[in-house]
Structure 1
Amino acid sequence: MALNFDTALAVHAQALRVRSERTQLLASNLANASTPGYQSRDIDFSATMARAAESGASLLSTADWGASSSDALYRVPNHPSRDGNTVEVGVEQALFSQNVSDFQTSLTFLNMKLRGLQSAIKGE
């Protein structure tokens, strides 16, 4: 009987990849907070994961799966600045912090799944 890691790990591996890419975008937003004309971008996590589930895309079998540049959406600022920069530091920091927390939660679930598989393989 072969072990299919796609089904065993569920969506957590895919969620980690999307969360990682979102972390990069949010960090880029924070790094460019004082760059004139910089447009803040973010990934719609729910829509990206839903599209992956519909297409049946797998992180383990498809090397280029994940959030692409077309998934990155521009954010509309609550308080536009004069220089055209749409980064709001407080908002970006809150989103970054929440994304890191969600990443850690997915990582914890993935670790629990792997421990369960390890126990099953050992026959415990």
Structure 2
Amino acid sequence: MIDKLDGAFRFYEDAANLRAHRQQLIASNIANADTPNFKARDINFKDALENANGNRFVKLLTSATNHIGSPHSVNGMAGSAPLMYRSAVQGSVDGNTVDMDVERSQFADNSIHYEANLTFISDQIKIMRTAIQG
């Protein structure tokens, strides 16, 4: 019985963790909008969620030895999907590929999906509570 309950919420937990990680990546892109030679990063959410089956941890990228990695970090992989560079819409003189319009829209889109995920979790809990209480 508990395995079925855990399985019902596992998908939503994985999705929420990946959305939170993606939000951090987008926020990092926005924070580094004026940093010369900064390359905007993102993950392919669909691929990451498909590959998150048994993986319970979101892994952060460490590209240098002095970076602090998250527990269970493996060679720059986030969950099971690699971090990718976002292609530049318009080139800049300083080599920065962050486009604030794209980042803001991705941030808002990801926020909406994260909130929807939390709503789905809440609804599932209400349905299960109703089923148990009768």
TM range (shorter): 0.7 to 0.9
TM norm structure 2: 0.78
Give the structure 1 partner of residue 54 of structure 2: 57
Q: Give the drift of 1:12.
A: 1.2
Match of 1:83 among 74, 94, 101: 94
Match of 2:85 among 59, 69, 74: 74
Distance in 2, Cα, partners of 1:90 & 1:26:
12
Distance in 2, Cα, partners of 1:117 & 1:67:
31
Higher relative contact order (CA 8 A, sep 6+): 1
Q: After the TM superposition, which parts of structure 1 deviate over 6 Å for at least 4 consecutive aligned residues?
A: none
The 1:103/1:67 distance shift into structure 2, 3 A limit, reads farther
1:67-107 CA deviation, whole Å, 9 max, x = no partner? Answer: 54322211110111110101000000000000000101111
Match of 2:132 among 96, 114, 121: 121
Q: Give the drift of 1:116.
A: 1.5
Give the structure 1 partner of residue 6 of structure 2: 6
Distance in 1, Cα, partners of 2:50 & 2:6:
16
Q: Give the drift of 1:115.
A: 1.3
Where does structure 1 lack aligned partners over 5 or more consecutive residues?
none
Where does structure 2 lack aligned partners over 5 or more consecutive residues?
62-76
Q: Give the drift of 1:6.
A: 2.6
Q: CA RMSD in A?
A: 1.5
Q: Give the drift of 1:121.
A: 2.9
More helix per residue = 1
| Aligned positions, number | 114
Give the structure 1 partner of residue 26 of structure 2: 26
